[in-house]
Amino acid sequence: MGDRRAEAVQVLVAGLGHVFRDPGLLELALTHSSVGEGAERDARGRPFADNQRLEFLGDRVLGLLVADRLMLDFPNADEGEMSSRLHALVDKSTCARVAEALNVGAALRLSPGEAKQGGRRREGVLGDAMEAILAAAWFDGGIDAARVVFETAWAAELSAPPKRSPANPKSALQEWALGQGKSLPTYAILRRTGSDHAPTFTVEASVAGYPPLTAQGRSRQDAEKAAAIGLLQREGVI
C-alpha cells in the first residue's frame, strides 16, 4: 500500500501544478485525524499530526482566492450574485468534487479503520483535504503558489456555466421543502463579525432531514438568501 500511495502522491503533485519545496507540508495536508487515533506513531512515539489546522486556514484561503477571481471575472455583478457564485465554488461538496478529480483519496493517509469504512471516498474527508492542500501551498510558496493550485484544481468548476439562481431563493427553498413533505426551513445566525457599519453575518439554513448549510452576507437577509441558494444548489434543485 505504501508504494501505491507514494505513486498517488506523485500523480497528485503533477495535477496540482505546484512542486512543494517542503514535501512535509503536503504530507501533513494529506494526513487525516484518524491516523493519530490509531497505533501509528512517529519516530519519537508521538501521534502523527493531522490536517485539521491546515483545513481551517485553507477554508479562508479558498474564500479569498475565489472572491478575487470573481471580482475580475464579473465586474458588473452585484453582491448577491457574487455571494451565490462564491458559495457554489467554496462549498464542501465542490471541494470534494475537485479532490475526486485529482484522485486525492488515493494519496490520503488514513487509519486502517477509516480506510475500511470508505474514508477515501467520503465527501467531508476529501473536501477537508483539498482545503488543507491549498493551505499547504500557501505556506510553501505564499499566495502565488496557492493561486496556482486553485486555478489548476478548480479550472473545471470555474469554466462550468453558472447555475441559475431564483429571484426569491427563500421562497424557492420553502416551496421545495414543503414539496418534500418537510416543515418550513429555519435560519439561525451563527455569528456576526466586523464593525457596526460593515458587519458580516454567518447564517445556517436548515431543512429537516437534510444537512444544514452555512453562508455569509453583509446583512442577515443577504446571508439567509445565500444560504437558501446554497442549499438548493447542493440538493440539485437549481
Which cell numbers hold the place of 200? 458580516
C-alpha separations of 76 from 71, 73, 81, 82 in Å: 9, 9, 10, 10
Strands 213-217 and 199-206: antiparallel
| Residue with the three cell numbers 416551496 | 175
**Based on C-alpha coordinates, what's the Rg of the chain?**
19
Provide the 10 A C-beta neighbour count for residue 113: 11
φ and ψ of 189, to 5 deg:
-80, 120
Separate counts of helices (H) and strands (E) for the chain = 12, 3
Quick check: 49 and 28 in contact, CB under 8 A?
yes
175 assigned to active site? no
Spatial CA neighbour of 27 closest among 15, 10, 43, 44: 10
Work out the angle between the directed axes of helices 79-90 and 92-101 (0-180°, nearest 10).
50
Active site residue 59: yes
Q: Is 179 buried (19+), middle (13-18) or exposed (0-12) by CB count in 10 A? A: exposed
Cα-Cα end-to-end distance for the chain: 41
User: Active site residue: 55, 91, 128, 131, which one?
Assistant: 131
Cell numbers at 82, concatenated: 457574487
Residues recognised as catalytic: 59, 131
